[in-house]
Structure 1
Amino acid sequence: MTFELLASDFYSYENLLNEQEKTAIAELRHYLETEVKPIVNGHWEAATFPHEIVKGLAERSVYSYAWEETKPFENSAVFRGFVALELARVDASVATLVGVQNGLAMGSISVTGSAEQRAEWLPRMASGEVVGAFGLTEPTSGSDSAQGLRTVATRDGDEWVLNGSKRWIGNATFSDITVIWAKDAADGQVKGFIVPTGTPGYTATKIEGKQSLRIVQNADITLEDVRVPESLRLQNANSFRDTAKVLRLTRAEVAWAAVGNSVGAYEAALRYTKERVQFGKPIASHQLIQDLLVKSIGNITASLGMVVRVSQMLDEGTQKDDHSALAKAYTTARMRETVAWCREALGGNGIVLEYDVARHFADAEALYSYEGTREMNTLIVGRSLTGFAAFV
């Protein structure tokens, strides 16, 4: 399949990809444009999830790009970033599905699981046979998850008993397993557990009334004396530091998704302004519209430069928490500006799903908040710059 650079990739960063990676991007782009994009507005409006895309994405190896048993980074981080961008360019909810499955759930097992756990679960998740979720955030614990987890795990012989609750858990209404993070009642350290969602005492209830990422099936999870065997405890997750290793890897890909969401809004705005005629000519020929478009492509290009470099640092083994935190904070802030300018360019039509910008505009708010708010990521970077922790 022929690969063509995105018109919104103004400085041609995609040329950093090798030919195999370009072919994979071209195939994914074709699938998303022909099979996914035509259905997302309907599902967004109905707040339903197109389950058929789980297998469709698996057939294009999207879930197996990052994690394999012996080689967790078979493909370049820059390539994986462009996958996240491509997904979010079509729909941020689809990018979130993959981010939860591939980055958070599979990532938890790959980074903190044993060799036996990786061999058992990762191939089944890569094929789409098993869908995963990631249970960290709680009703009263979000930004303070490192200290504020209230879900408790109590050892009882060869089993663990989990009690507590989780909130905003993506994929959780239909996931087969959920990685639950809980404090060990004995030592107070955070540990991870692979919890099959059919386990007695596990309940997931869909969160209704969302105005962002409406396709994502977020759930409240209740854990009441949920028993899991020691074999389902992630064997290398012994403190929140191990949880943070997973978040560092996925935070950079959320930054990529933010760029993709900006690109989706920009492309829709550019297309619309070239076709929309007012005062006898396309509104794209008006100075004020061109100003909005140029500011948008400027934000996209600057953000792309940042996420490309952060991913290169991951490949080099030099990326740190503050690097991914700055990328997430910066790109999501620029995304917020960009989708607003694109909505403005469409006038009244900017709030109608038919023209695509409205969906990107609304979904930006969720991307701006999850995987660490701008403020929390700013404080991570601020601590790195000054040596002082200013979290509280």
Structure 2
Amino acid sequence: MANPFSKIKSAFKLLQQIDFDQLDKLSAKVDLPKALDGFSKLDDAQLSGLMRMLESDKKERKLPEINGDFYEVHLRLTEEERAIQLKVRQFMEAEIKPLVNHYWLRDEFPFEIIPKFAELNLCGVTYEGYGCPNMSFRMEGVIAMEMARVDSSIATFFGVQSGLVMGSIYLCGSDEQKNEWLPKLQQLDKIGAFGLTEPEVGSGAAGGLTTTCKKTDEGWVLNGQKKWIGNAPFADVTVIWARDVDDNQVKGFLVKKDTPGYHVEKMKGKMSLRIVQNGLITMENCVVSESDRMPRANSFKDTANVLRMTRAGVAWMAVGCARGAYENALDYTRKREQFGKPIASFQLIQDHLVEMLSDLTAMQTLVYRLSELQDHQLLKDEHASLAKVFCTLRMRNIVGKAREVMGGNGILLEHDVARFVADAEAIYSYEGTKEINSLIVGRAITGFSAFV
């Protein structure tokens, strides 16, 4: 037969966990004899659970590491690639994160980071020669993700320089143009911009460019406007795509910033990617020499080759933007207390966090496979478009949930989520809207084109 006093002894043992000051406060609020009687009526399991609870409260809770890579997809990287990923992460955390809110709020670019950025030696990630690293497309995506995880504007700056500008010259330029520009762009001694979108022409660029070019005895004469051109206000050279009035085909040109007839006005009033300096370019009888026309850019198909290569990078950027929002929100919920405990311990908050992580994990596995297709030269337009559609949609959901779990603090820059919410809107739209990319996929799977 069990000792009838064993439970009373256990109750006293529980009270021994409390110091005298706590006991005085407790006696003023609780009928201790009645409490002891209640303890004596607990069964062994209940009493054991109460003891465990008191013991666990005395120990400092060790929380799991905050890690948006829940399925450990980084294990697909080689040791060298993983080292580069961590180097980029450390650079972004140490050099970019401390200053990003300052510049984002003021709609300015931190030019002082350019020399430090150059030291990473990452521009032209996938190209061979000209000082480029010649790494995999998968690694290019990982780099874009790591940058966007801290700031999407810096990732966009890198994407324009390394992808759109250098990619245009690498794919469409002459040997002379490659030798002149690629090494300088790779080291960020020169900054580039990519001029395709126009004030009245975005999605319809394939067949409706209003910027024109015409061959004359003096050279090629360019007329028209380009809008939303990242880096344009301070770029040394801009890739300009224009429609030839003689054969109606799209051609590409390298236009230097001091070319007569070429003017750039900084765009103001953006709510998204505010560090990116976008320009409205106006060309009035801007004369460009034949040596500055890219000889392998003779139709919009050549332009599309560049966009296909870089659109995968935008999907990776969406993953980075979503991951940054998720990790910052998770960190916040573990520190923010309401009703006497961290809000991360509440069921509804955990439900939101798990939904965010589910979307993020699906995005990560998709873009890794997308880059594998690219590395095996199997990437098609519809592959890149599907990734752009899915990842930017899920990104929007994640940044929205991140702001939601933070309550009113979610709209303050200091908590490092509001910026992701705003920047996600630009990532959602540029390099092909959700609707246009959906139609590219739809054409591939149905055999019918729904484009006008």
Normalised by the length of structure 1, the TM-score is 0.97
**Offset from partner CA, 1:26-80 (integer Å, 9 cap, x none):** 1111111011110000111100000122222221012131233489882111111
Aligned equivalents of 1:376, 1:73: Cα separation in 2 = 33
Aligned residue identity for 1:387: G
Greater relative contact order (Cα < 8 A, sep 6+): 1
Aligned equivalents of 2:417, 2:209: Cα separation in 1 = 37
Structure 1 position 116, deviation (Å) = 1.8
Structure showing greater radius of gyration is 2
How many aligned positions are there?
388
Residue 66 in 1 paired to residue 126 in 2?
yes
Does the CA contact (< 8 Å) of 2:190 and 2:236 recur in 1? yes
Does the CA contact (< 8 Å) of 1:69 and 1:122 recur in 2? no
Which one of the candidate residues 84, 105, 110 is aligned to 2:170?
110
Does the CA contact (< 8 Å) of 1:43 and 1:49 recur in 2? yes
Larger deviation, residues 249-258 vs 65-74: 65-74
Which one of the candidate residues 126, 137, 141 is aligned to 2:201?
141
**RMSD, aligned α-carbons:** 1.4
Which one of the candidate residues 344, 349, 358 is aligned to 1:289?
349
What residue number does 2:246 align with? 186
Aligned equivalents of 2:168, 2:295: Cα separation in 1 = 11
Structure 1 position 6, deviation (Å) = 7.6
Which one of the candidate residues 241, 249, 261 is aligned to 2:321?
261
Residue 247 in 1 paired to residue 307 in 2?
yes
Aligned residue identity for 2:412: V
Structure 1 position 17, deviation (Å) = 1.2
**Offset from partner CA, 1:293-342 (integer Å, 9 cap, x none):** 11111111001111111100000011100000000011000000000000
Q: 1:174 to 1:111 in 2, by over 3 A?
A: same
Alignment of 1:4-23 (within 5 A): 7-23=67-83
Aligned equivalents of 2:213, 2:66: Cα separation in 1 = 48
Does the CA contact (< 8 Å) of 1:325 and 1:377 recur in 2? yes
What residue number does 2:37 align with? none
What residue number does 2:361 align with? 301
Aligned equivalents of 1:236, 1:275: Cα separation in 2 = 56
What residue number does 2:335 align with? 275
**Offset from partner CA, 1:9-33 (integer Å, 9 cap, x none):** 1111111111111111111111110
Aligned equivalents of 1:55, 1:213: Cα separation in 2 = 21
Aligned residue identity for 2:300: F
**Offset from partner CA, 1:265-293 (integer Å, 9 cap, x none):** 00110110000011111000111111111
Aligned residue identity for 2:284: E
Alignment of 1:1-392 (within 5 A): 7-69=67-129, 74-157=134-217, 159-392=219-452
Aligned residue identity for 1:200: P
Aligned equivalents of 2:274, 2:146: Cα separation in 1 = 19
Normalised by the length of structure 2, the TM-score is 0.84
Aligned equivalents of 2:302, 2:170: Cα separation in 1 = 12
Aligned residue identity for 1:36: I
Aligned equivalents of 2:386, 2:217: Cα separation in 1 = 44
What residue number does 2:36 align with? none
Aligned residue identity for 1:332: T
Aligned equivalents of 1:27, 1:309: Cα separation in 2 = 23
Q: 1:73 to 1:112 in 2, by over 3 A?
A: farther
Aligned equivalents of 1:267, 1:121: Cα separation in 2 = 38
Does the CA contact (< 8 Å) of 1:63 and 1:102 recur in 2? yes
Aligned equivalents of 1:94, 1:43: Cα separation in 2 = 11
SS at match of 1:296: helix
Q: 1:81 to 1:31 in 2, by over 3 A?
A: same
Q: Which runs of 5+ in 1 are unaligned?
A: none
Does the CA contact (< 8 Å) of 1:69 and 1:115 recur in 2? no
Larger deviation, residues 21-30 vs 304-313: 21-30
SS at match of 1:205: strand
Does the CA contact (< 8 Å) of 2:130 and 2:179 recur in 1? no
Q: Which runs of 5+ in 2 are unaligned?
A: 1-64
Aligned equivalents of 1:380, 1:243: Cα separation in 2 = 16
Aligned equivalents of 1:119, 1:18: Cα separation in 2 = 31
Aligned equivalents of 2:66, 2:446: Cα separation in 1 = 39
Q: 1:291 to 1:6 in 2, by over 3 A?
A: closer
Aligned residue identity for 1:278: Q
Identity of paired residues, percent? 53
Aligned residue identity for 2:367: V
Does the CA contact (< 8 Å) of 1:62 and 1:98 recur in 2? no
